Amino acid sequence: MGQRIAILQGHPDPAGGHLCHALAAAYADGAKAAGHHVKIIDVATLEFPLLRTQEDYKTGTTPVGLVEAQGQILDAEHLVIIYPLWLGTLPAILKGFLEQVLRPSLAASSPGEQPSYSEFSRLMKGTSCRVIITMGMPALAYRFFFFAHSLKNLERNILKFVGVKPIRTSLFGMVDTASAEKRQLWLAAMKMLGKRAG
């Protein structure tokens, strides 16, 4: 029996056609071929406001346009997050999306209250994750010279905080100059990961 997989396509260009979109499609193709149940959430095509106050974050309701995506994320057994590195971190639209769908109201024991860490960490307990990041710099430079700060923040302060583990990563560097052959190898690797839901 296949796993329930939610793929968050975090590239901010709604027109598509970027490497991130190709990587997501390859992962989905591999997963579907292996019998997994796949939902692709293209964040750039969704309409939602950015959170501007702590009160809205703590007590507000999920925007109507995100309710379906929120349900797919909460229902997933495996989560895949794909985005390009922008200004050293994830694109603003993806951060804004995560703020909207991972609200305290989903985990709090009482309405309007900020949940404790233990309450929040049960929100997605049992969900694993693969984070896939594309970038213009060499992947090794990002990981070891820049210490992968945005990735570590996503892992520690968002994913682990709501109970997601284990978290595995795939980093693709120098994407602007990558040959067609290298891109095909990347896509093949994504398809294999999709088959394993890894």
The arrangement of strands across the sheet holding 78-84 comes to: 37-42, 4-9, 78-84, 128-134, 167-172
Residue 110 has pLDDT above 70, yes or no: no
**Three-state DSSP class for residue 182:** helix
At residue 11, the pLDDT reads: 97
DSSP state of 138: -
Centre a 10 Å sphere on the Cβ of residue 167 and count the other Cβ atoms it contains: 18
Centre a 10 Å sphere on the Cβ of residue 33 and count the other Cβ atoms it contains: 11
Average pLDDT, stretch 51-66?
89
The mean pLDDT of the chain is: 92
Each residue of 166-189: pLDDT tens digit? 999 999 999 999 999 999 999 999
DSSP state of 33: H
**Three-state DSSP class for residue 113:** coil
State the pLDDT confidence band at 55, using cuts at 50, 70 and 90.
confident
Tokens representing 133 are 């990041």
State the pLDDT confidence band at 113, using cuts at 50, 70 and 90.
low
d(CA 146, CA 80): 23
d(CA 22, CA 7): 12
At residue 79, the pLDDT reads: 98
pTM for this entry: 0.93
Contact 42, 75 (CB under 8 A): no
State the pLDDT confidence band at 142, using cuts at 50, 70 and 90.
confident
At residue 68, the pLDDT reads: 96
Specify the range with the lowest mean pLDDT, choosing from 10-14, 69-73, 122-126, 185-189: 122-126
State the pLDDT confidence band at 112, using cuts at 50, 70 and 90.
low
Average pLDDT, stretch 95-111?
82
Tokens representing 59 are 């007590």
Outline where DSSP puts E strands in the chain: 4-9, 37-42, 78-84, 128-134, 167-172
